[in-house]
Amino acid sequence: MRITAHITTTTSIVALIGCLGFAPSIASADEAADLAAGKKLSFDRKKGNCLACHEIAGGSLAGNIGPPLVAMKARFPDYEKLRAQISDARTNNPNTIMIPFGPHAVMSSKEIDLVSTFIYTL
């Protein structure tokens, strides 16, 4: 009896979610690979090196010069502003000590995209 009730409840919930137009988003394999690549670049001490200045969940030996990278969607509702900040923070703050990754060719545009996409998920 309990199994039937559980199946009925689960089926009802799935039907309700479908009727309301909510569908859980499942990242494609490509999106998952991009996030993994972005994380790898962010943690790479010879590329993104975000951990030199920022605390990031899952990172080790994090710096504290920059703010912790948490709640990034709340801090940067516009993804493009976050990407621009990562590419060249001097645009918003000429006195910043953040490396201008794009203009100094530390990372390619594609690498900046990958890092930005990963950081946006934090």
The tens digit of pLDDT for each residue in 45-104 reads 998 899 999 999 999 888 999 999 999 999 999 999 999 999 999 999 999 999 999 999
3-state SS assignment for residue 49: coil
**Which domains, and CATH codes, for the chain?**
27-120 (1.10.760.10)
Q: Do residues 72 and 122 lie in contact, with contact meaning Cβ atoms separated by under 8 Å?
A: yes
Q: Do residues 115 and 107 lie in contact, with contact meaning Cβ atoms separated by under 8 Å?
A: yes
Confidence band (pLDDT; 50, 70, 90) for 40?
very high
Quote the radius of gyration of the chain (alpha carbons, Å).
20
CA distance 118 to 8: 38
